[in-house]
Amino acid sequence: MLETSRPFENIAFVASATPEAETARLRLSEQYGAAAEDDADVIVALGGDGLMLQTLHRFRDRDIPIYGMNRGTVGFLLNTYREDGLTERLASAQRVRIHPLIMEAVDASGGRHRAPAFNEVSLLRQTFQAAKLRISIDGRVRLEELICDGIIVATPAGSTAYNLSAHGPILPLGTPLLALTPISPFRPRRWRGALVPDHARIDIAVLEAEKRQVSAVADHQEVRDIIAVSARLDRNSSVDMLFDPDHGLEERILREQFVY
């Protein structure tokens, strides 16, 4: 994380469609003013991690940092909600620059699809048949055949989402790694995934694609009947997230790993 000293005078608020988030937006707008998004120095997102993900996509590559406050149910990537001292909190916040994955998928008809993902790229079986996948890293086959319900390529920002539910590792923000996590692996039964350098290109081929149909999802964008997917970090695209110095992200990471 890097300290930020940029003044934030024009604050725009975005909120999820819940009574708690909308009430917070109205109260904060009354207290601090509400700038138009195009005129804002900072975006304050009010909701949960789902709202934060939507906001990251909306403001990608616009050079406007995002500061989230939790008015949702999870909020792992959001700061604690408080109405007092917002301008001071913004002034002392720490900045983390994150880059999205770029998914490039080829479907069964030869169509090519490209989509960004701040959380994860997922391959998921479409029918009762398990998926059969081949995994390559930087052009070298690392796993000839994985029979499973699917597989996840997760960023550090997304490691506490679907990846964590699939028993993947939590990656602190700023860690130069991606998590490759299988979903219900059948064979090899003991393979639990891998950590991959974030400069690597991950290629996944769908074997027996006509029999074992697979879809690919980049955050909210889905492509069905795919035969191949590649995922890599796009360092030419980014968005900045802001965190309170006492956000306690390290403590949250530890706590999540020791729950039972």
Which residues carry out catalysis? 49
Q: Is 56 annotated as a binding residue?
A: no
Structure tokens, 136: 């390559």
Sign of the dihedral defined by the CA atoms of residues 92, 171, 162, 160, in that order: negative
Q: Is 160 annotated as a binding residue?
A: yes
C-beta of residue 81 within 8 angstroms of C-beta of residue 70: yes
Q: Is 157 annotated as a binding residue?
A: yes
Q: Is 251 annotated as a binding residue?
A: no
Count of CB atoms within 10 A of residue 109's CB? 7
Q: Is 81 annotated as a binding residue?
A: no
| CA angle (149, 151, 152) in 5-degree steps | 140
Q: Is 213 annotated as a binding residue?
A: no
Q: Is 33 annotated as a binding residue?
A: no
C-beta of residue 166 within 8 angstroms of C-beta of residue 181: yes
- Residue 189 CB partners (closer than 8 Å, separation 6+): none
Q: Is 10 annotated as a binding residue?
A: no
Q: Is 181 annotated as a binding residue?
A: no
Beta strand pairing call for 101-107 and 112-117: antiparallel
User: Which DSSP symbol is given to 187?
Assistant: B
Distance between first and last Cα of the chain = 30
Q: Is 70 annotated as a binding residue?
A: no
Q: Which residues contribute to the annotated binding site?
A: 49-50, 119-120, 149, 157, 160-165, 221
Q: Which residues contribute to the annotated binding site for NAD(+)?
A: 49-50, 119-120, 149, 157, 160-165, 221
